[in-house]
Each structure stands twice: as structure tokens, then as C-alpha cells.
Amino acid sequence: MADRAVTDWRTDFDHTDEGWVADPYPIWEELREECPIAHSDRYGGVWLPTRHEDVSAIANDTEHFTSRSIIVTNHRPPMELAPQGVAPPISSDPPYHAEARRMLLPAFSPQNVAKLEPSTRAYCAELLDAVQGRDVVDAAADYAQHIPVRVIADMLGLPQADGDVFRGFVHDVIEGVARPLEERAEGFLALFGYLQGHIAEHREQPRDDLISFLLDAEIDGERLDDFQVARTVALLLIAGIDTTWSAIGASLWHLARTPADRERLVSEPALMPTAVEELLRAYAPVTMARLVKEDVDYRGCPMKAEEWVLLSFPSANRDPRFFDRADDVILDRQPNRHAAFGLGVHRCAGSHLARMEIKVALEEWLRVFPTFSLADPDAVRWSAGQVRGPRLLPLRVDA
């Protein structure tokens, strides 16, 4: 959480402020209309474009904005990390980025993701079996959070039982952004220690999983060393867990408080793929960051080198200049040119996997619990930082 309350969103915003965490939409709306590129001195300087046009322009401008770090903290990672960055390829810049990304994409292609659907569905059913008979189920803590952890653990070849370990790491990285560097460094060291052990085991005994694939992969004709593999695995854990968990949870939160949409999805299951896109648009969980490479003037904003830019894809998705009835959830909205998975060369590499997980998670939930509502709206808790989703979501599921 922010160390002091925000008094003016235009000049002093903080994306970890309690007000923002509780409900950022009115804040973004005010900024889009009155101060479309806000600035805050916090975190050593942060810019916040909120209109689709500006978010898109900066996401596509890899000449002036680097991905060397994509999570806003008080610390900038060393320049020497470029062009790979902390966790390639999300933290990499062109041209290295393209090679590192190309290596990963086949694992997350639609064809490969389709193979994971049956096991994902079986796991969702298993989670729902375990909560049968209860009046109230926490859709975030008892359901959504477990799904992406299991899927990515299976893909990587890490023990399913370590779910709590991964979630702890991810929480430290994404939500612990205001903590001192030394504390954050401890978290990273623990994560890399954990991963090094598993990477060593995979080197000894290769298997049919993503860690073994990475150990065998080449970038520009060279094998990756253990540290490069560990950083890429860390990225897949961090990028794959909180994000998808958030999207599943936010979708169930919407359906819990919008009976007409819930009933429509139950009676028109074929609408699900279109509905998933609309829920992704309306409740896009992910905001990414860039660092300004060198002093640059962007539309009259004097952006200084090493200042952050928060790319609010969630706000871009609510921009009425770009979408009709931008604040309304319209389950059969088409076309829907949303930016929930980012724009430009850093389009989420796991987007096809995320879509499959969200679709299957919602289908299975609705199959078991066609009728549900918020058990206690005041008990819902949202995550703080650049990934937004419910972390506590008690739903009354008795018909």
C-alpha cells in the first residue's frame, strides 16, 4: 500500500493507494477527461496515460521507451541488464526481444494450448467437488487462484504441491512494490534458489516439459545458461498466475452482481468466447510499465530519462473515444478491439493460454453453480499494484 494518501490524482497518483485499489474506474475516467497524461513524483517519477490513443502510441514506441523493467518500484534495475532485462522476453527490447519471444511462442500457441484444455477442465471440476455442500465459497481463494498455478506448474514441470510457494513469490514481486530493495531482493533470491534446484534436476534428467525445453533452446545460436532459464521460468510464474487468477475472479465478481448476464451465459453457453473477450475488456487485470530511455517530449509532457510510464490497458479499454458504451459490460459486444493483452511487440505471450483457462474456469463454475451472488460485498478484497483482481470473493452458491 502507498506510504501516504493521495490528495490529487493528476499530480500525485499512486497505483497502490487504497482508493485506487478499491475502485480505480472513476479515477481513470476523471484523468481521461481532464488530465489524460498524469504525472506523479512518487517512485522517482511516473507518467500515466489513460486514453487508448496514448497507451497504444507508447506501447508501440520501443525507440523512446524501454521494457528493462515493467513493474514500477522505487528501484531501477541496472542498465547493464539491457537488452535482456530482468525476466526476458517481457523485459527485453528489440532486437534481442524478438529472438527470446520466438523461442517461447510455440509452447503457448493455440494448438498447444488446446492440448491442455482437458486437464484444466478436470482440475476445475476437482476444485469444485471439494467445495460442494458449502453455502458460501470464496471464488478467488478456493477456486480461481489455484487454476493457473496448477496449469503453469504442469507445463514447466514443477511439483503441483508447491502452489503456495509460487503464489508467495508472485505476491512479493507484484504487490510488494513499495517495500525496501533489500527485502525485495530476499524474495528474488529465495525464488531463484528454488528454481535453481529444479533446473539442476532437469539438467540431470531431461523431461517432456517447458524447463527441459528451455534448457535445450537456443537464442542466436547459443544455449541459455541456468540463470537465463531461471529468469524466464520466473517470468512465466509471475506473468501466468496473478493475471489469470485476477481475470477469472473479476469475471465471477461481475456475474455474481449481474444476474441477467449470469442467466444469459447459463442459457447461451455458445456466447462464452465472446463474453470472455468482453469481460477481459471491461476488467482487464494488467497494467504494464516502461522506462523513458532518454529525455523526450511526448505531446507536451517533458518525460525524463528513467521515469516510469504506466501503460493502463484497463483504462484504455474504458475509453469512450474508442468504445461505445465503454463502461457497460455487453456480453455479445462485437467487434471488440480490446487491449487487455497489451499492444505491440510485447503482446502477452500467454494470451491463448489465459483465454482457455478463463473460459474453462467459467464454464465449469456455471455448470456446478448456475446460481450465485455476492455473500457480502464489503468482504471483497482487490489486489494492489499493476495486476488487479479480487483476492477475497465470498459467493453465496446455494440455489
Partner 1 sequence: MRIVLDPDRCQGHGRCYALAPALFGCDDEGYAVLLVEGDLDPAAEGDAQLAVDSCPEYAIALEP
Q: What is the smallest separation between the CB atom of 398 and partner 1, expressed in angstroms?
A: 36
Q: Are 35 and 325 in contact (CB under 8 A)?
A: no
**Cell (9 digits) for 166:** 509460487
- Name which of 274 and 373 has its Cβ closer to partner 1: 274
- Name which of 247 and 343 has its Cβ closer to partner 1: 343
- Dump strand ranges (E) for 29-168: 37-40, 46-49, 65-66, 136-138
Q: What is the smallest separation between the CB atom of 356 and partner 1, expressed in angstroms?
A: 11
Q: What is the smallest separation between the CB atom of 334 and partner 1, expressed in angstroms?
A: 6
Instruction: List CB contacts of 294: < 8 A, sequence separation 6 or more.
Output: 64, 305
Q: What is the smallest separation between the CB atom of 316 and partner 1, expressed in angstroms?
A: 10
Instruction: List CB contacts of 219: < 8 A, sequence separation 6 or more.
Output: 96, 99, 100, 103
- Name which of 102 and 223 has its Cβ closer to partner 1: 102
Provide the b/e sequence for 353-364 (b: ≥16 CB within 10 Å): bbbbbbbbbbbb
- Name which of 110 and 197 has its Cβ closer to partner 1: 110
Q: What is the smallest separation between the CB atom of 322 and partner 1, expressed in angstroms?
A: 11
- Name which of 105 and 379 has its Cβ closer to partner 1: 105
Interface with partner 1 (CB under 8 A): 102, 105-106, 108-111, 273, 277, 334-339, 341, 343-345, 347, 351-352
Q: What is the smallest separation between the CB atom of 337 and partner 1, expressed in angstroms?
A: 5
- Rg value, the chain, Cα: 21
Half-sphere exposure of 70 (CA within 13 A, CB side): 25
- Name which of 351 and 373 has its Cβ closer to partner 1: 351
**DSSP 8-state assignment for residue 331:** T
